[in-house]
Each structure stands twice: as C-alpha cells, then as structure tokens.
Amino acid sequence: MVKGLKLLLLFLISFSFGVEILSERLSTDGEGNLIAEGSVEVHYRGLLIKADRIKYDPQKRTVFATGNVYLKSEDQDLEVRGSEAFIDLRTREGYFLDAEGRFRKFYFSAKKIRKIGKNEYLVEKGEITTCPPEDKEMKLCFWKAKIDDRYVFSYSNSLKFFNVPVGYLPLAIFPVGERRSGLLPPMIGQNSYNRFIYIQPLYLALSEDKDATLTLDYRDRQATGLWFEYRQAFTFRDRLYMRFSYYAEPTPPGEWWEGRDLRTFRENRYRGQFELSWKGWKLGLDLPSDPYFFEDMYFSREERTLPYTLSYVTYTDLEKDYLLSFNLRSYYDLTSPNNKRSFSLLPEMGFYSRPKRVGPMLVNLTTTFTNFYREEGVRTKRLVFLPQAQLPFSLLGFQNYASVKFVNNFYFTEGGAPGDERVSSFKFENRTPLYSSFSLSSLRFFSLTEMVYTFSPQNFNNPQFDSFDQVVKENNFKLRLSSSVAYKERTFSTLFLEGGYNLLKSYRFPTDNTLVEEELLPVRLILTIYPAEWMDLSEDLIYDPNLDVIARSVSSLRFKFWSTAIFGSYVVSRNSGKVRLTDQYTLGAQTSLKGILLGGSITKDNLTKREIYRRAYLGYRGACWALKLDYRRTYYGEKGYLKEIFLVFTVFNLRDLKLPLRRR
C-alpha cells in the first residue's frame, strides 16, 4: 500500500505542461485559471486522470481536481479513485482525499494523503489488503503513517479479521524501495517441549553487495540461541556465505534427550556453515556440534532429517576445448555413531576434452583420479583413462551414429577381498534412429524407434563405486521405442519401451548389480495414459524375463474432479533372488470445496508392517487468507514416531505463519 500511495503522489506532482486535456467544456475564469468540466480526461506521461472538474492556475502552477477523481497508470500497476486532489507544481506538495485504489495485487484506502516535503508524505487513517474490494475479510489498518524515501513509520497498527481486531502494534518501522535494515516477520508458537517459542530475525542491509541477518531464537525450556548470517556478492557468480548458530542447552538434559546417546550431549551446541565461490573455486563447510542439532533446532522436515554434513573444496575451469575439475569432499553421516564407514572423496581430479574433429571422426577424452576413502570397509584409489571416438555415417539410406570408448581403470584397493587391479577393455556402440508420424482423423501418432548395438568383450571383478566401474561383457542388440498418441489437442498416452538380446549371455541385474549369465536383457517400460482430463495412470517397470522377476515397479493413479483429487502409488523392488528390497504404498486425497481445505495421505511399508508417514490437514481459505491445522506423524526407526501439529495462518495470501503446537 505504502509504495502504491507513494507512486500515486509521484504521479500527481509530476503533472505539468505538455498535457492533453479532453472535456465537454473548456474555459477560463476571471482569474485566468483553465477550467475543464464534464467527463474530463487528462493524459500525461503514461497517466490517465479523470474527474468531473479540473482547475489549473498557470500563475501559481496548481492543479485542483474534484468529483469522481480517477487515476490509472499505463502499466496497469496503479488504479485509484477519490473525491478531491490538489497539487502545487512549484513546491511539489499537495493532497488526495478519500483515496481508494489498487497497486499491483494490493488494495488500499486512506482518508488523506499529503505530501509535506521533497520526499516526505503523511497518510491519515489508511488500510491495506489483498482481499477484493467487495470482500475485505482481512485488512491492516493504521491511524497515521509517515513515509520518506527510506522508511515508513506507521502508528497505531491493527490487523482486523472480519472487522474484529486480532493484533495490535503501536509503532511499526519497515523499509521501502531499496533494501533497508529492519525487523523481519517473527515466528511465534509452542511445541511438546516448550510452552513459548519466539524467533525474531533482524535484517541488516550493509551495502549494495553485502547484507546480514541476526536472529534471536528464544525457547522457554529448550536451548536458547542466536544465529548470524552474512552474505556478500563479489561478482554475478562469485559469492560468500557464512552462518553460525549457537545454543545454550540447559542441564541436566531435558526430556528431548530420552533414548539418545548421552555421550553426544553438549551444553554448548552450534552449527557453523561457510561457502565461498571465487573464480572457479568453491569452498564449503557445514559442521554441527552433535547429531541431534538438526532435529532439535529446525522445524522443516528437509532440515530436521538432514542425514549428513559436508565439507568440500572444488575447482572448475571450463574453457573452449576442455573442462578441468578438482573435488575434495568429506561427509559426516549423522545417522552413524562413529562415521567410520562414510565415504569421502579425498580428492577427485578430472579432465574432459571436448570432441574435436579428426578427419570424419569426433574424438574426446575423459580422465579422473579419485581417492574413495573411509576408515572402515573397502576403499580404493582409482585412475580412469577413457578416450572415445565417434563417427556419424550413412548406410543403406539410414543415418548411423557409431562410437568406441577405450576403458582403462587402475585400482589400488584396501580393506576388502582382492579383485581386479586393472580393467582394460573397450565398448563399441552404434545407434540407428528411425522417425515416423501420421494422423488418423483426430488422432495423431509420433514414434522414434532406435536400434542400438553395443559390444564389450570382458567381465571384471573390480570394486563398484560409481558408473565408471560398471564394465561388463556385452554383445547386445537393443530396441528402443518412444511414442505418443494425441487425440485432438490432448495427449492420450506416452510410451517408452526398451528390450534386447545379449549374445555373450551376461548383464548386471538392475537393483543389486549381480552378474546374470543369460541372453535376454531386462525390459524397461514407462507408460502414461490420460484416458480423460480427470484421470491419469502411469507405470515405470523393469522386468527380467530370465529370472521372471520384476526388478522395480512404480505405479501411480490419480483422479481429479473439480477441486478434489484422489491419488495413490505403489513402489516395489526386488533383488536377483526375488527378495523384496522395498514395498510401499501411498494413498491420499485433497479437496478445496467452497473454501474448505481438507486432505491427507498415508504411506505404509509392507516389509516392516509399519505406517511410516501420515499427514492430515483441515482448514478454510477466505478471500485473502487461509487457516489450516496440519498433523504429521513420521517413523524414525528406533526413535519411534515423531508427531507434529502445526497451525498455519496465511496472511493476505502472501506469507505462511507456521506455529508448531506439538512435537513429540
């Protein structure tokens, strides 16, 4: 609102010579004033002004508009009506009475808007809302506000809900225009461990390229803490980010430590974060004081269940002909009591040359050195050298794309059974794509059929860490089909199908990487059907015909009627011995009927016979607000279930205020 009122006055005070005036009657009075009456329209620099009557004094250079005064900007951002407006063009001061209007998505009104200085304004008896004018269910009202080019000082502020005051603040100070320092919206609530929680951030605009946030986190029973965040931009890509969080934990340990490893208890709890990007280098650090810091201090599921922390140093040099990279990453597994089996890359270095034309061929090179390190378990140092040549050619009228990759992997493995220390092989591949499309009445068909031949002569007993290690013998013919069917303007179905035959009778099973010595390759199917606008079905399937086992299946179904949706999904995977690795289903529904918000979902694991996640919510959406009660229950293994209840209040459809009512 404030920005809209300020823009309104700027438009008003810019009224000067060079205007176009249209009216039913145009005259001058005895004092030399220009009088325009009857459906007056004034066009000036992208601004339209309408009124019943406008008087312009060329001597004093004042404009006085009365009767159904209306202003509208050419960009449609501002639209306002009022009873009277006055502007002194010499001093650039004036007023606007009984203003009601819209600035972008905000609707505002004020008894009087007055300009008292070069960049100072007084607004009396104003209100703002995002509700439509005919249905102002929620609005923010203030008695008086003083506005300059930096801040707004607003006095006697009240938030009204259906004209009933629900909040009051005697004085509010907030920035306008450019970034300004000031208080950000707080978080207020309670949970199972605290009767009162108050989190208040303070934003500090230090300069055009630097800012910071200082946050007070008060909890009446748990740890009380302080956060400090610092951000600085050096260039468009080069940036610095630092954050340090400190909490003083009460002693002896509270009930939230029940069932935990008390050896991890800290009276002083902290989290330090650092990230710097500079001329291709990136340095980062994320270090918590204990494994339970995230669970206790954060409220979002993504942060609270973070499984590991990370420190890293990376470097990337992308040039016209090559890519050079350096990567050093150290992980700390928060779910492990000692972190001794967590992998780290200490370090990884890589070089990739872009394809270069050598005669009719394109030649490129990939080489990496990686130290897969951990304190316990198999670890290795690996050197990879992969030159590759590609040759497009035409044969019997068909376009072909052939490539050969020479594999040279060297391993220096410790802590496990002996395996191949050197992998020397090659992989040949040729792809022949065929395109087709046709129409039949209102049906349109498109398909891409691709015939693929791959050859690799040998299997190896090398450790498996990433895709570079997956070297197996192949003599495969594969057929890939991608197609779609559209009816009129709507897609009816999409299909991807892949299968093949291996002359060398060897492949890796998709889920557990077990070597299977059979001829037929697993079949991959991805099918989505849209039989009606209110219904869709999808299936993502990998089937092994040799072992007669579905390696993985992800099935989903969704119905949508008006504002109601019902959905379900089922995920199952098995290893080469037909033993289920995952077996879960999710069912849910949601609706928004006449403002009522109702929904929920449940996920059950059939292997453990446990419900691992449940959510239900009930609320109501008004004209520019929403109130929702959100219940969640999540299974955390030996820790049991974490139950949460949030009250979510959406103010003016702009920001969700989430109040944690329960957490246990």
pLDDT of residue 543: 97
d(CA 659, CA 654): 16
Nearest to 74 by CA among 48, 49, 100, 50: 48
pLDDT of residue 9: 38
Contacts of 364 (CB under 8 A, 6+ apart): 352, 353, 354, 355, 356, 387, 388, 390
Burial of 201 (0-12, 13-18, 19+ CB in 10 A): middle
Q: How does strand 25-28 pair with strand 47-57? A: unpaired
Nearest to 1 by CA among 131, 163, 126, 156: 126
pLDDT of residue 403: 96
What is the pTM (predicted TM-score) of this model?
A: 0.68
Residue showing tokens 């007669």: 548
pLDDT of residue 325: 94
- Give the pair of three-digit tokens for residue 165: 């005051």
Residue showing tokens 């497009």: 392
Contact at 8 Å (CB) between 144 and 124?
Answer: yes
CATH assignment of 2-177, given 2.60.450.10, 1.25.40.10, 2.160.10.10, 3.90.79.10? 2.60.450.10
Nearest to 72 by CA among 133, 10, 11, 6: 11
d(CA 237, CA 255): 45
pLDDT of residue 6: 40
CA atoms within 13 A on the CB side of 411: 26
Chain mean position to CA 628: 22
Q: How many Cβ atoms are within 10 Å of 32's Cβ, its own excluded?
A: 9
Q: Which residues of the chain have pLDDT under 50?
A: 1-17
- DSSP 8-state symbol, 11: H
Sequence letter at residue 134: E
Sequence letter at residue 187: M
pLDDT of residue 1: 43
Question: For the chain, which residues make up each domain, given as ranges?
Answer: 2-177, 511-592, 594-664
pLDDT of residue 638: 66
Render 394-431 in DSSP notation, one character per residue: EETTEEEEEEEEEEEEEEEEESS----SEEEEEEEEEE
Beta strand segments in 374-504, E: 379-395, 398-414, 422-440, 443-456, 474-487, 490-502
- Give the pair of three-digit tokens for residue 356: 């270069």
Cα-trace Rg, the chain: 34
d(CA 37, CA 53): 4
